[in-house]
């Protein structure tokens, strides 16, 4: 019977598990930011950290970079997704695009960024394919494309990765926006496809994807791994600089890092506020636009461009992964050869031991974390079903909080906090931190299917004398096998892709595929990066394949469950 007293407490426990590390991390940021850091022999409060931060000559530029890349990538990705949905949803082309983009969601950011860097560099694959026969280059041109000072390459990398994410979020929202009917009416009134959609469906869809858009904005402003691979270095973005200061042997620099982390936090909050104001402005302008009654002259052009861009985003990831594959088997490959002079297994042999170790570490973290997240999520949802403990709209914000706060604002603080209270870095704290990011995604992906389950089946089972637990374990969970496995795959992919949490909370000693791959980026050994990047991608993709395969096998003789 203890279990029944335990279940109602689960939602509270879940919130604690998720927000505890965040709050501890913020606490560990605020104290040193104001100069109070006893471990380094510093006692505050004072403003010395902010003072030295302001004295750092790279500050204006790195702040500008964070803000610019954040806004630019979010705006571009959102525009592509909205226009392509407006112009093409319900068509064959859209279905193809959807099928192309869905698996790309789980490609880790770092792997996608590597692939892109190989593609677009002046000596990259695209340049090689057209050299020298078309371009006349037998040496690559001296052009600053990757690591450019405006962060354009980095913005492109973020757009490419955020388009699949926002598209899937939009697809989920479309179902509840009565898109098809609105479109029929709009076109009956003579509106073009894109204009009609933007005027009628967009406001409803946007209201639903608002939080994911905020997540994208906050993430893009504070991302570290993509910025290290594609972003500028003279200076880097603020987040990368925070991580560098954290790694400095001089503990006093952590005070500066903490001050910078608070600055990063306020930048993100400021950006979210500006975005919110922008939403209002767009809403107001939109009303005027609707009132003017244009039927949409440029619709075909907008739809065409957006489809081209979305396809380009998908292609960039696919080609990027392909070029990783080629590099991982490459012998010597000089410019301007389109393919390596020879292919070899040597690279894979050389790295097999290290890769397998990293795979083990990655799985040892991702699997327990995902299981814990699943148990907590199912517990919360079941508590909601049995006791009506439903999250309010405000509560949803709690779920999004760890995703909205910049990681660089609280992860360095969490490391400092652990150092202060004497907790060792290592695998267990890393797992606890991964859970903070895995839980929201698992919850968001499982909540809707779980709630959509037909409760009348539960009533029938109860009538057949099944206990509430029996209903859960013998009826509901098996019937929801596929969404549960999909949620697990999402959780595993999120955990596999975690870079900063693993690096900082693991103290550099927990080496997963992602941390190894990003560490290799500094060495520039593309063969090694190819091997690790591909393994990292497979580790994230394989669970999705299993999530499709297992229910198909388990329910091969239960036709009604196959689509559940």
Partner 1 sequence: MKHLAILAALLAPLPALADTDPADWAAVTEKADGQTVYWNAWGGSTTTNDFIAWVGSRVAEDYGVTLEHVKLSATSDAVTRVVAEKDAGENDDGAIDMIWINGANFSAMKEADLLFGPFAEQLPNWQFVDVEGKTVQTDFTVPVEGYESPWAMAQVVFIHDTADMPDRLGDMAALQDWAAANPGRFTYPQPPDFLGTTFLKQVLVDILPDASVLAAPVSDDSYDEVTAPLWAYLDELTPNLWRQGRAYPTTGNAQFQLISDGEVDLAISFSPGSASTAIANNELPPTVRTFVLDKGTIGNASFVAIPYNSGSKEGAMVVANFLMSPEAQARAQDPEVLGYGTVLNMAALSDEDRAVFDSLELGIATLSPAELGTAQAEPHPSWMTRIADDWVERYGVAE
Closest CA to 246 of 396, 465, 415: 415
Question: Among 262, 228, 278, 274, which residue's Cα sits nearest to residue 63?
Answer: 262
Phi, psi (deg, nearest 5) at residue 37:
-150, 80
DSSP letters along 231-282, please?
Answer: S--TT--HHHHHHHHHHSS-TTHHHHHHHHHHHHHHHHHHHHHHHHHHHHHH
Is there binding between residue 507 and partner 1 (CB under 8 A)?
Answer: yes
The yes or no reply on residue 524 touching partner 1 (CB under 8 A) is: yes
Q: Determine, following the binding rule CB under 8 A, whether residue 344 of this chain makes contact with partner 1.
A: yes
- x/- map, 135-174, partner 1, by CB under 8 A: ---xxx-xxx-xxxx-------------------------
Which segment (215-223, 416-424, 442-450, 533-541) binds partner 1 by CB under 8 A?
A: 416-424
By CB under 8 A, tell whether 123 contacts partner 1: yes
Q: Which stretch binds partner 1 (CB under 8 A): 210-218, 276-284, 474-482, 515-523?
A: 515-523
Rule CB under 8 A: is residue 392 a binding residue for partner 1? no
Question: Is 527 a residue that touches partner 1 (CB under 8 A)?
Answer: yes
Residue 388: asked if its preceding bond is cis (omega within 30°), the reply is: no
Q: Which residue has the tokens 């009303």?
A: 287
Q: What angle do CA 54, 56, 60 make, to 5 degrees?
A: 70
**Other CB atoms within 10 A of residue 515 CB:** 26
Closest CA to 431 of 515, 506, 542, 377: 506
Q: How far is the CB of 230 from partner 1 (least distance, A)?
A: 11
114 is an interface residue for partner 1 by CB under 8 A: no
Tell me the window of 73-81, 244-252, 309-317, 396-404 that interacts with partner 1 (CB under 8 A).
244-252
Contact set for partner 1, span 18-47 (CB under 8 A): 39
Under rule CB under 8 A, residue 247 binds partner 1: yes
For partner 1, the binding residues in 472-491 under the rule CB under 8 A are: none
Q: Are 213 and 74 in contact (CB under 8 A)?
A: yes
By CB under 8 A, is residue 334 in contact with partner 1?
Answer: yes
Beta bridge partners of 330: 343
Q: What is the DSSP string of 494-534?
A: HHHH--HHHHHHTTT----HHHHHHHHHHHT-HHHHHHHHH
Q: Which is nearer to partner 1, 121 or 447 (CB)?
A: 121
336 binds partner 1 (CB under 8 A): yes
Interaction between residue 249 and partner 1 (CB under 8 A): yes
In the set 522, 553, 559, 563, which binds partner 1 (CB under 8 A)?
522
How many of the chain's residues bind partner 1 (CB under 8 A)?
57
8 Å CB contact between 417 and 28: yes
Read off the tokens for 365.
């973290």
CA distances from 418 to 39, 107, 492 (A): 11, 31, 25
- Select from 210-218, 296-304, 479-487, 514-522 the region that touches partner 1 (CB under 8 A): 514-522
> Which of 36, 210, 350, 427 forms a contact with partner 1 (CB under 8 A)?
350
Residue 242 vs 472, nearer CB to partner 1 = 242
Binding interface with partner 1 (CB under 8 A): 39, 56-58, 61, 121-123, 138-140, 142-144, 146-149, 232-235, 247-249, 251, 330-336, 344, 346, 350-351, 353-354, 419, 422, 424, 507-509, 511, 516, 519-528
């Amino acid at each position: 019977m203890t279990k029944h007293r335990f279940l109602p407490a689960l939602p509270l426990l879940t919130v604690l598990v998720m927000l505890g590390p965040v709050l501890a991390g913020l606490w560990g940021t605020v104290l040193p930011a104001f100069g109070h850091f006893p471990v380094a022999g510093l006692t505050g409060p004072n403003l010395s950290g902010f003072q030295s931060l302001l004295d750092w000559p790279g500050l204006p530029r790195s702040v500008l970079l964070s803000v610019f890349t954040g806004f630019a990538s979010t705006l571009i990705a959102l525009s592509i997704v909205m226009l392509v949905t407006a112009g093409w949803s319900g068509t064959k082309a859209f279905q193809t695009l959807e099928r192309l983009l869905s698996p790309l969601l789980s490609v880790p950011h770092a792997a996608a960024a590597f692939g892109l860097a190989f593609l677009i560099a002046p000596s990259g694959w695209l340049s090689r394919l057209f050299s020298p026969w078309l371009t006349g280059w037998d040496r690559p041109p001296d052009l600053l494309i990757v690591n450019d000072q405006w962060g354009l390459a980095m913005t492109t990398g973020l757009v490419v990765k955020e388009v699949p994410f926002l598209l899937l979020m939009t697809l989920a929202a479309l179902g509840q926006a009565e898109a098809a009917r609105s479109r029929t009416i709009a076109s009956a009134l003579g509106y073009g496809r894109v204009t009609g959609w933007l005027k009628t469906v967009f406001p409803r869809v946007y209201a639903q994807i608002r939080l994911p858009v905020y997540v994208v904005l906050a993430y893009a402003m504070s991302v570290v791994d993509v910025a290290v691979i594609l972003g500028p270095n003279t200076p880097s973005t603020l987040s990368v600089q925070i991580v560098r200061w954290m790694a400095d042997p001089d503990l006093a620099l952590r005070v500066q890092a903490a001050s910078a982390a608070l600055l990063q936090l306020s930048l993100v909050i400021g950006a979210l506020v500006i975005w919110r104001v922008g939403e209002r402005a767009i809403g107001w302008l939109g009303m005027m636009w609707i009132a003017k009654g244009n039927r949409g002259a440029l619709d075909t052009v907008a739809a065409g461009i957006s489809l081209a861009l979305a396809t380009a985003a998908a292609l960039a990831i696919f080609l990027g992964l392909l070029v990783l594959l080629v590099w991982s088997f490459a012998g010597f490959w000089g410019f301007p050869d389109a393919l390596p002079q020879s292919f070899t297994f040597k690279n894979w042999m050389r790295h097999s031991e290290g890769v397998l170790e990293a795979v083990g570490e990655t799985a040892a973290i991702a699997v327990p974390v995902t299981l814990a997240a699943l148990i907590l999520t199912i517990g919360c949802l079941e508590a909601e079903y049995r006791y009506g403990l439903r999250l309010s709209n405000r509560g949803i914000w709690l779920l999004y909080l760890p995703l909205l706060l910049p990681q660089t604002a609280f992860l360095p603080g969490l490391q400092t906090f652990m150092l202060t209270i004497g907790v060792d870095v290592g695998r267990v704290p890393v797992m606890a931190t991964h859970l903070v990011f895995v839980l929201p995604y698992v919850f968001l992906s499982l909540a809707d299917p779980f709630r959509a389950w037909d409760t009348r089946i539960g009533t029938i089972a109860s009538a057949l004398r099944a206990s509430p637990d029996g209903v859960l374990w013998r009826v509901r969970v098996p019937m929801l096998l596929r969404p549960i496995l999909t949620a697990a795959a999402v959780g595993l992919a999120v955990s596999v892709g975690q870079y900063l949490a693993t690096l900082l909370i693991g103290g550099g000693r927990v080496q997963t595929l992602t941390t190894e791959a990003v560490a290799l980026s500094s060495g520039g050994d593309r063969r090694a990066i190819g091997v690790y990047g591909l393994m990292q991608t497979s580790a994230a993709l394989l669970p999705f394949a299993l999530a499709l395969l297992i229910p198909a096998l388990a329910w091969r003789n239960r036709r009604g469950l196959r689509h559940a």
